Structure 1
Amino acid sequence: MRFRMFESALLILLLLSTSDRGFVSGQSEKNLLLQFRNSLTYDSSVSTKLVHWNESVDFCHWEGLKCDSNSRVSGLDLSSESISAGINDTSTLFKLSHLQSLSLAHNSFDSVEFPSQFGRLTELRYLNLSNSGFSGQIPLSLSNLTRLVVLDLSNKYYSSLTLENSDLGRLVRNLTSLRELYLDMVKISADGNDWSTALSSHLPNLRVLSLSDAQLPGPPGSTLIKLQSLSVIRLDGNSFSSPFPSFFADFPNLKVLTISSCDLSGVVPRKLFQLKSLQTIDLSNNRDLEGSFLEFPVDGSLEKLMLSYTKFSGNLPESIGNLRKLSNLDVRSNRFSGPIPSTIKNLKLLVYLDLSQNKFSGNVPSFAFLKNLNVLNLYSNGLTGEIGDDSLWKGLDNLEFLDLSVNSLQGELPPSLFALPQLKSLHLSHNTFSGSSKLSINTSSPLEVVDLSNNALQGSIPQIFFQLQNLLSLSLASNKLSGSLRLSDFSKLTNLVSLDLSYNKLSVHVEERVQLAKLFPRLETLMLASCNLHKIPNLQNQSSLMMLDLSHNELEGEIPSWLWRVGDDGFLFRFLNLSHNRLSHLQQPYKMRGLDFLDLHSNLLSGEIPKPPPSAAYVDFSSNSFTSIIPEIGNILKRVMTFSAADNKLVGRIPPSLWNATGLQVLNLSRNALSGHIPSAVGNLARLQSLDLSFNALDGEIPGELARLTFLSFLNVSYNHLVGKIPLQKFPESSYVGNEGLCGQPLNVSCDGRGREMHYVLLD
């Protein structure tokens, strides 16, 4: 009996002891977690986990935590908690020895060196530190994590993490269980054969390899093919500068291959596109990479095919209709030719289709009933025929973007296009569409952008364009539209950002009392060139205006001083073209600022030539009647690339400061009455491509410093009073004629110089 009592007592003590140890262990982990949280710096207004850790609640129920069956912390997810500090080698985080899963992704440890103590968490299967901002060398202590299955140290935009040449192999040598490795944006200095051998030797089970933008100095070596389990390979953004690795077509389980923007060349093996397992392939932006298609497999798994900005050529085969799972097809800017296969209409899951900037020919095929299609881009091909058949567009219920511009399409505009229920952006410019009489539309249409410019549309502007209340941008420029209208006719388009009616046969009337700022408060671009305008529209208080083109009209009188203040007091206003009018003067006082492009040429402007805005890159004051000297503007023209004051009545010397405008590419001061020498300082204009000083009264010699201008491709100093030997022979005779004192080639005048005295002997 006593023995049984002793046995029972011992059992109770053992149970109590075990229970107490479990409680103490749990309490200890809770304290560790609280210490850990209190050491962190984070934004409580953003936090959705840490901020809710409540001491009165069982810690296993805290947000972001998971416990195992023994109430020990096995998972910790503190991703996107705005943590910026508090994790270093002394952190209590590294005492949570039972952790199997840890994520600190999407935080901001921007100045924190990568702690080496992560290597203590030897139970980890999953470690995600992506986009967390740790910096410096990745510690080799991570090689202690022998049970790791997923390691993610990637970054999306920027990383200061590095792996030196031999360290990649040392890092992964014990990680034999690893199946997924993400090191995007980590600087890896190992060359192609080294990193390929390191991975293939130590990671036999690797399925996902992601090394995008890792600054890899060389392409993958052929040893990578040993990793036969690889299903995902991402190497985008590394400057390999090499032929395409053909062994990529030999991975039997490959599902995803993205190797865009890697400066690859050579020919892609056709069998790559025969892989039945392949779901995504992105070879885009390898501009010297060539390839073509044979047939696509009947039971292919391809969902995304992206080849934009490469040199693929040949036809797009009819068998593309076999790719029933395809959702994204992007082959823009290639060399494909022939017809667009009609079988594209079989791709019912297609969401994005871009065949632009190729050489496709023939008619536009039917895209009917591609209910998921969101983007259709056929821009800049050789497509012909009409598209007015409603059956071509029937069922495109989710289409938001359509671009058929820069083709040779003709006939009437198809009314069915304007009736698509989700269409927001429609581009039909640079074709030969000629009619629009049948257009009608619901005023609640979602259309935001309509571009019908450079066609052959005739008659008056269709009334539907005055009713599209969601419209942001409308371009009808360069057609044959006629009739009269007022800008207030567009008054229902209160969201309008851009309007272009230029180069038609329209007469646009401007009501003096109507402030466009009230009609179109968001207007940024107004293009009314060649619209028979007689007055400058009232754009006062138009705070968002950036571009204004009123050229080729009947404007006369003064340029109002308020014009320079539109666009948030002149700081947003970047483009102004008032050329080819009869404007006579600038209202005083005025202050030009902000403009990048200023064109006042071919008017009747007189008096003092204005000082251009300091920000300008293009300035044209030519073909007016300015009579002043050229002011010291060289120090003003910090960014100017083109400056022309030709065909005026300017006098005096060319200001010395003009030769300090080192950004100048085009300078034209011809057909004035300028005098003085061409100084040697002209050699400062290192970027100059065109210089025209003809038809002036310049004297002295042509400076030899012009020979330093390696970009100079046009020079004209004809009809001045220049003397001496011509220092540049690469320009034609017409560049120098009309200067009786010049000699040498290309003129038929020989130079026989003694000191400053020149003798000229006409050659037979």
Structure 2
Amino acid sequence: MRISPFSCIFFNSYLVAAFFSIHAVSVSGQCRSDQGRLLLELKNTFNSNSTSSGKLATWDQTTDCCSWDGVACDAAGLVIRLDLSNQSISGVMNDSSSLFCLQHLRQLDLSYNKLVHAFPSAFDKLENLSFLNLSNAGFTGQIPAAISSMTKLVCLDLSVSSLLGRSLKLEKPNLEMLVRNLTKLQFLHLDGVNITARGNEWCQTVSSLTDLQVLSMSNCFLSGPIDSSLSKLRSLSVIRLDNNNLSASVPQFFAAFSNLTSLRLSTAGLSGRLPEEVLQIPTLQILDLSKNELLEGSFQEFPLNASLQTLRLSDTKFGGKLPESIGNLGQLTRIELASCNFSGTIPKTVRNLTRLVYLDFSNNNFFGPLPSFSWSRNLTHINLGSNQLNGSIHSTDWSALSNLVSIDLQNNTLSGNIPPTLFGIPSLQKIFLSQNLFNGSLGDLHGETTFLLDTLDLSSNKLQGQFPMSVFELQGLKILTMSSNNFSGYIQWNDIQKLRNLSSLDLSYNNLFIDATSTDSAVSSFPNITTLKLASCNLKQFPGFLKTQLRLNHLDLSKNQISGEIPSWVWEFRSLDYLNLSQNFLTKFERPLQNITSSLIVVDLHGNQLQGQIDHISPHVSYLDYSRNNFSSILPPDIGDFLQFAYFFSLSGNNLQGGIPRSICKGSYLRVLDLSNNSLSGQIPECLIQMSVFVGVLNLRRNNLCGNIPDTFPVNCSLQTLDLNRNLLQGKVPKSLVNCKKLEVLDLGNNQVNDTFPCHLKNITRLRVLVLRANRFNGKMHCSEKAPWPMLQIVDLSSNSFSGTLHETCLLTWKAMQVVEDETLSELNHLRFEVLKFRPFYYQDAITVTMKGLELELLKILTVFTSIDISCNNFQGPIPEVIGTFKALYVLNFSHNALTGLMPSSLGNLSQLESLDLSSNNLHGEIPIQLAELNFLFIS
């Protein structure tokens, strides 16, 4: 950020007066000839033009040099002030420059130019300078020791912006050597200079400048902690130390700076708790502590007539409630509390903040109604997104906010209709109201916002009625997102084409019929379109205009009725990285995918009728889903060559045959590999098991794979799901599977595994699903030591040869079945694998269970669903009374065993039970009356 030269002289009345008279001629009215000559020599060393260097254009030897723009003289005709700031001057300024002969200069400003050269060392010749501003002048390298000889300096600004690609450093001399003689300094700006100093070093150095009023050293590679020696600087008015790594707390003594007006410490690695007294400093106007993720604090009471104008605390651990006294901040123009831990209602007293321009309370836990902002008529930005606000938004007279530029209320639970007055604000450019409960229909949106509104996002609400065709009259729109509502209607593509400035369009998941049959590249192109999402829009064909959209990078036409071929031009977009054509009626590619030029990263073609061989897509693809098609070939031997960057690959639900090529193990980034529901045969390659170092989901269910499960699971196994159900696998449960400590789902059902109960897996504490059904397991379901499986929610041991009694010690460790989860919450909680942490994408686990006498496939495993099935074994003895503690059970099947004794009365405690089968045993006694209400009860 540019440091204005005014910051150096703001508190010095003499310098202020001098600066504002910088264009005045000398009192004598005549420039000394040597001064004019030196200035012209200086001009001739610069490269400039009259447009960007307007001041130099007035420098002409035919006029008095004291009248030249940027020049001021004293009564003797000596140049004492020179201001050439922001003139786009380039060239070389070395130690022989005529500038250094102007030895009567008191103020020099060369800031914001392009003098790209090493820092000159002759500044010590300008010994009378009290004001020196070289910020972003273009100089690079080491700051010379000559600066330290300028003992009359009151203001020194050597700041540099990294955005301009230039760098300065203080090494030899270092900071201490630079300022040791500058005892008169009041204003010090070194932002962006590489100082690299520890806290005690730079603090003690700066503390020697006892008259210092402004300390600005942001982005200087400073470390902490902040030394107490800084407390000596009682005159400090401005402290700016942002973008350093101070790794410290905010010192208590900062609150004692009675003249402090600005404290900026954002992105400084601060931790601990902010002293409450800092917020009480009566002179404080600017407080910026944002982006210090470990900094804690809360608001107490704000004093009357507080001076705060800017308050920025976003991305910290500040929290608690906003006090009613926030209304005392009558001078406040900007408040940013985003991504903190604030909660409670937003006080109605915010209406007192009549000077407010910018408000951001997003990503907190505020709840309750939206306060009225009708009196804050200077507001340009309102962001209350991602909270828990509810009710309508009619409390504000939106027509009164004539300066509003952006409103963001997304991801709350706001309801009611959207006020038409919101669309009548003439200055409004962006509206974000997505992920709420707004309902009703939208009227005519074509108003004064027509040309300025560039973003409209009303997605994921309950809006209904006819789609508002007037939205296509908002010709300034660049982003239009209306997806996931209940709009209905018929839209001709010719209506959409009116929005010529569109870069992103999403009309997905409504009840719309979009007719794209008349589109062609000549009349329907969008020159700036990058994102097009028309999922579930009843499209019958590919819109013809698409083939000319060279900037397109995201295309989603899923869940439509498009049939026939996938056109070749789809693969020719060089910028396209996301393609979703899933759940259509596509049958084949127009031509084989060879030598394609696209840079596709995500390709989703699942749920079509594609057939033939598996074609290569792109060597850059990261997500590839070919599942639920009709591919019937073998897997290409070189399939791994186009999976080298893939993290998700699914061919599930095709008719693929043959073995699994070893080349698939080249996919060293794979997190999910799903080859289930095919006719693959042969053995599981050992390298595939060894890939579980990084693979989280390996799904090979419903194939014809044979042989033993390779016993090569690595020590650092990352598997969360291993599904080998319905194959022809033999042998034993691999001993090395114990290495998979993250395993949640283990499904070996419907194979020919011949083993005993897998007690060696007892330390996999995350296990939730254990399916061993229909194998050749035998022996007791009991381990010599307690099996710690507290998370188990589904156990299926049916159709094996297990024997012995049911031990309470084993059952008691299954804690998840003994706690009833909140069912409303559990609808959102199901077993899933997070494929990528930085992108919200999950793989859903599925499983087959026997419930109410029928085999059901659960496509999502809710964490609330719990089941025990040990049917069709040889278990003996009584049913343990402890079974009555399994209050979360939905399904219990003990049928077809040799269980004896009384039916436990504790079964009546299973209030969640929906299916109970105890048939084909030798039980007797009364059936608990509570079981009479079951939907399915089979006891015979």
TM-score by length of 2: 0.72
Query: Is 1:575 paired with 2:575?
Result: no
Query: Is 1:671 paired with 2:666?
Result: no
Counterpart in the other structure of 1:117: 122
**SS across alignment from 1:492:** coil
Q: Is the 8 A contact 1:353 1:376 kept in 2?
A: yes
Counterpart in the other structure of 1:98: 104
Q: Percent identity?
A: 43
Q: 1:681 to 1:39 in 2, by over 3 A?
A: farther
Q: Which of residues 592, 596, 606 is equivalent to 1:601?
A: 606
In the TM superposition, residue 205 of structure 1 has moved relative to its aligned partner by 1.0
What is the rounded CA distance, in whole Å, between the counterparts of 2:514 and 2:713 in structure 1? 49
**SS across alignment from 2:80:** strand
Counterpart in the other structure of 1:482: 488
**SS across alignment from 2:325:** helix
What is the rounded CA distance, in whole Å, between the counterparts of 1:35 and 1:638 in structure 2? 63
What is the rounded CA distance, in whole Å, between the counterparts of 1:227 and 1:107 in structure 2? 33
Deviations 1:150-176 (A, max 9, x none): 111111225532224983222212111
**SS across alignment from 2:185:** coil
Q: Which of residues 185, 193, 200 is equivalent to 1:186?
A: 193
Worse-matched range after superposition: 224-233 or 52-61:
52-61
What is the rounded CA distance, in whole Å, between the counterparts of 2:649 and 2:125 in structure 1? 67
In the TM superposition, residue 148 of structure 1 has moved relative to its aligned partner by 0.3
Q: Is the 8 A contact 1:550 1:578 kept in 2?
A: yes
What is the rounded CA distance, in whole Å, between the counterparts of 2:405 and 2:110 in structure 1? 38
Q: Which of residues 207, 211, 219 is equivalent to 1:205?
A: 211
Q: Is the 8 A contact 1:517 1:542 kept in 2?
A: no
Q: Name stretches of at least 5 consecutive residues in structure 1 with no aligned partner.
A: 1-21, 750-759
What is the rounded CA distance, in whole Å, between the counterparts of 1:92 and 1:420 in structure 2? 57
Deviations 1:251-275 (A, max 9, x none): 1000000101112111112221111
In the TM superposition, residue 571 of structure 1 has moved relative to its aligned partner by 1.3
In the TM superposition, residue 350 of structure 1 has moved relative to its aligned partner by 0.9
Counterpart in the other structure of 2:556: 549
Q: 1:93 to 1:633 in 2, by over 3 A?
A: farther
Query: Is 1:292 paired with 2:298?
Result: yes
Q: 1:761 to 1:585 in 2, by over 3 A?
A: closer
Query: Is 1:162 paired with 2:150?
Result: no
Deviations 1:402-451 (A, max 9, x none): 11111111112211211222112111111111102555542653322211
Query: Is 1:462 paired with 2:474?
Result: no
In the TM superposition, residue 103 of structure 1 has moved relative to its aligned partner by 2.2
Counterpart in the other structure of 1:503: 509
Counterpart in the other structure of 2:928: none
In the TM superposition, residue 516 of structure 1 has moved relative to its aligned partner by 8.2
Query: Is 1:646 paired with 2:646?
Result: no
What is the rounded CA distance, in whole Å, between the counterparts of 2:688 and 2:146 in structure 1? 63
Letter in 2 for 1:224: L
Query: Is 1:269 paired with 2:279?
Result: no
What is the rounded CA distance, in whole Å, between the counterparts of 1:64 and 1:615 in structure 2? 57
Worse-matched range after superposition: 81-90 or 223-232:
81-90
Q: Which of residues 428, 431, 437 is equivalent to 1:426?
A: 431
Letter in 1 for 2:204: T
In the TM superposition, residue 685 of structure 1 has moved relative to its aligned partner by 7.6
Q: 1:375 to 1:733 in 2, by over 3 A?
A: closer
Deviations 1:299-349 (A, max 9, x none): 111110111111111221222222121110111111212221212222221
Counterpart in the other structure of 2:881: none
Q: Is the 8 A contact 2:693 2:714 kept in 1?
A: no
Letter in 2 for 1:599: D
In the TM superposition, residue 214 of structure 1 has moved relative to its aligned partner by 0.8
In the TM superposition, residue 739 of structure 1 has moved relative to its aligned partner by 5.1
Counterpart in the other structure of 1:618: 623
Q: 1:133 to 1:695 in 2, by over 3 A?
A: farther
What is the rounded CA distance, in whole Å, between the counterparts of 1:443 and 1:231 in structure 2? 45
What is the rounded CA distance, in whole Å, between the counterparts of 1:744 and 1:68 in structure 2? 102
Counterpart in the other structure of 1:585: 588
In the TM superposition, residue 281 of structure 1 has moved relative to its aligned partner by 0.4
Q: Is the 8 A contact 2:29 2:66 kept in 1?
A: no
**SS across alignment from 2:139:** coil
Worse-matched range after superposition: 603-612 or 132-141:
132-141
Q: 1:512 to 1:127 in 2, by over 3 A?
A: same
Q: 1:184 to 1:554 in 2, by over 3 A?
A: same
Letter in 1 for 2:566: I
Letter in 1 for 2:231: I
Worse-matched range after superposition: 300-309 or 436-445:
436-445
What is the rounded CA distance, in whole Å, between the counterparts of 1:692 and 1:190 in structure 2? 54
What is the rounded CA distance, in whole Å, between the counterparts of 1:119 and 1:745 in structure 2? 86
Q: Is the 8 A contact 1:298 1:322 kept in 2?
A: yes
**SS across alignment from 2:489:** strand
What is the rounded CA distance, in whole Å, between the counterparts of 2:532 and 2:82 in structure 1? 56
Q: 1:676 to 1:41 in 2, by over 3 A?
A: farther
Letter in 2 for 1:139: P
Counterpart in the other structure of 1:412: 417
What is the rounded CA distance, in whole Å, between the counterparts of 2:33 and 2:45 in structure 1? 18
What is the rounded CA distance, in whole Å, between the counterparts of 2:693 and 2:140 in structure 1? 42
What is the rounded CA distance, in whole Å, between the counterparts of 1:482 and 1:434 in structure 2? 14
Q: Is the 8 A contact 2:459 2:484 kept in 1?
A: yes
Query: Is 1:72 paired with 2:78?
Result: yes
Q: Name stretches of at least 5 consecutive residues in structure 2 with no aligned partner.
A: 1-27, 762-775, 781-940
Q: 1:132 to 1:720 in 2, by over 3 A?
A: farther
In the TM superposition, residue 489 of structure 1 has moved relative to its aligned partner by 2.8
What is the rounded CA distance, in whole Å, between the counterparts of 1:587 and 1:392 in structure 2? 56
**SS across alignment from 1:614:** coil
**SS across alignment from 1:728:** helix
**SS across alignment from 2:400:** coil
In the TM superposition, residue 70 of structure 1 has moved relative to its aligned partner by 1.8
What is the rounded CA distance, in whole Å, between the counterparts of 1:314 and 1:513 in structure 2? 55
Q: Superposition pairs for residues 371-450 of structure 1, below 5 Å?
A: 371-388=377-394, 391-436=396-441, 438-442=443-447, 445=450, 446-450=452-456
Letter in 1 for 2:284: L
Q: 1:227 to 1:517 in 2, by over 3 A?
A: farther
Counterpart in the other structure of 2:736: 727
Deviations 1:623-653 (A, max 9, x none): 1111223332433345322222222223344
Q: Is the 8 A contact 2:384 2:409 kept in 1?
A: yes
**SS across alignment from 1:418:** helix
Q: Is the 8 A contact 1:695 1:720 kept in 2?
A: no
